[in-house]
Amino acid sequence: DAGVIQSPRHEVTEMGQEVTLRCKPISGHNSLFWYRQTMMRGLELLIYFNNNVPIDDSGMPEDRFSAKMPNASFSTLKIQPSEPRDSAVYFCASSLGGGVGAEAFFGQGTRLTVV
Amino acid sequence: AQSVSQHNHHVILSEAASLELGCNYSYGGTVNLFWYVQYPGQHLQLLLKYFSGDPLVKGIKGFEAEFIKSKFSFNLRKPSVQWSDTAEYFCAVNARNAGNMLTFGGGTRLMVKP
C-alpha cells in the first residue's frame, strides 16, 4: 500500500482565496483524522471521521473550515476564505479503528502558506 | 474526554546521554498508548505502541516505554541518544471505549548535540 496520500504537498495562496486539501486514506482503514500543525499551537486535531461520518469536529477553528468524506477512499478539507493565520502544515491520518488496529498512519502533509 | 500531557517541551542532550520523556494521560478506561516521532521536515512516524500485556514496550531505534497504569503514565526512554534522534516526540492515547479518536500531547522537541 502507498500509505496515506495527501495533495498538494505545498500550496501558496492569497488571502481570501478558497483552498482545498485532499487526502486518500489507506485502503480498508475506517477512521480518518485531519490535524493542523503550527509552531505556536503544536499538533491540533481538527476533525475525525469514522466510517465516513464526522464524529468530532470540535477542533475546527471556525466556519471558514469544512471537511467532507464522500466515500471511504477520499476526504477534503476546505478553507474559504483563507487567511494568513491559516498558514500551517495540515496532516491527514487514517487508522483501522480501536483495539489492536488503532495505530494511525500519517500522510506527508500539505504545507499551506496564505499570503 | 481523554487528554495527554507532555511536561517537557524542549530537551537538550549531548550524545550518549540517557533520555526520558514524560507522558501522562487522563482517562479512566482502557487505553492504547503510542509514541510518534517527527524528524525535521517530515511527517509523524510510529516509534512504539502499547495495547496490552507486558507494560514495558520496545520500539524501533532502541526506544522503549513503560506503561504504569497507577500513574497514568507512558514515559519514553532511550539509554544512549544519538545526534540522529533530534526530532519532536509526541505521545498519544486512544481510549478504546470512546471511539477511534487519537489524542496527542503537545510534543517534546529533543535536540541532541554532537
Amino acid at B52: S
Higher-confidence position of B101 and A79? A79
Q: Count CB pairs under 8 A between chains A and B.
A: 63
Indicate the residue of B34, B43, B90 with minimum beta-carbon distance to A103: B34
| Distances A50 to A26, A59, A108, A109, B7 between C-alpha atoms, Å | 14, 16, 21, 20, 30
Measured between CA atoms, how close is B12 to chain A, in angstroms?
18
pLDDT number for residue B100? 65
Nearest CB neighbour to A106, from listed B32, B44, B96:
B44
Check whether B29 has a pLDDT greater than 90. no
| Residues found in chain B | 114
CB atoms within 10 A of CB A12: 12
pLDDT in tens, A52-103: 999 888 889 889 999 999 999 999 999 999 999 999 999 999 988 655 557 8
Residue B101: predicted pLDDT? 73
Q: What is the pLDDT of residue B30?
A: 83
pLDDT confidence band for B27 (50 / 70 / 90): confident
Helices (H), B1-114: none
Closest CA to A76 of A12, A19, A28: A19
Q: Cα A106 vs. chain centroid, distance in angstroms?
A: 10
Q: What is the pLDDT of residue B28?
A: 75
Quote the pLDDT of residue B3. 85
pLDDT in tens, B51-61: 889 999 999 99
**pLDDT at residue number A103:** 83
Residues 47-106 of B with CB under 8 A from A: 49, 51, 90, 92, 94, 96, 99-104, 106
Probe site for chain B from A106, A110, A111 (most B CB atoms < 10 A): A106
Name chain A contacts of B46, Cβ cutoff 8 Å.
103, 105
Give A37→chain B minimum CA distance, Å. 10
Average pLDDT, chain B: 91
Q: How far is CA B36 from the centre of its chain?
A: 6
Interval A7-65: pLDDT, tens: 999 999 999 999 999 999 999 999 999 999 998 888 888 998 989 999 888 889 889 99
A3: left (phi over 0), alpha (psi -120 to 50) or beta: left
Test B101 with A106 for CB contact under 8 angstroms.
no
Query: CB of B112 within 8 A of CB of B81?
Result: yes
- Given a cut of 90, whether residue B78 has pLDDT beyond it is yes
